[in-house]
Copies of this chain bind each other. A is one copy, B any other.
Amino acid sequence: MDSDLLKRTKNSRQRDLVLRILRSSKDHPTAESIYLEARKTIPSISLGTVYRNLNHLRDEGRIRELSYGKGISHFDGELREHHHVRCIACGSVADVPCVVPRPFIEEVQAQTRFQIHSVRLEFIGLCGTCERLSEEKGPRPETARE
């Protein structure tokens, strides 16, 4: 909850690195995996610093935080509107370049009297690989975790 709008921001190698890793990564890494990647460049970087920077960048609106199942957050360096598909079986996440139509959003605004800033759309299912696996093993119930 660090929303001091007066506080001026300073550059640091650590913060730049975290952002660079996020921007150049095709998937949606967790704090832990960003940390591991960052250590290749700054071996002394700490996990706490990675978390602080991710929160800072998110609060500035320079990255997005996505949270799926239980604990872990994933981060996304791509700011243009896009959405995700997630595989319930293996946990993989892929981008879907679709856009939620304006009129749809306006209808929801009217219905809910919310002023809507952004939309998160997530498709949940089985990726090609896991689908094949589950056919081999025979069908089994999938958890409905979101």
Q: Does A131 contact B (CB under 8 A)?
A: yes
Interface residues of A in 22-74 (CB under 8 A from B): 58-59, 61, 64-71, 73
Size class of A's contact patch?
35 or more
Task: Say how many copies of this protein the assembly contains.
Answer: 2
Q: Does A142 contact B (CB under 8 A)?
A: yes
Shortest distance in angstroms between A53's beta carbon and chain B's nearest beta carbon?
15
List 7 extra interface pairs beyond A113-B127, A115-B125, CB under 8 A.
Answer: A65-B144, A66-B146, A70-B73, A94-B112, A109-B125, A116-B123, A121-B122
A-B contact pairs, 7 of them (CB 8 A): A58-B145, A59-B141, A65-B146, A114-B123, A114-B131, A119-B124, A120-B121
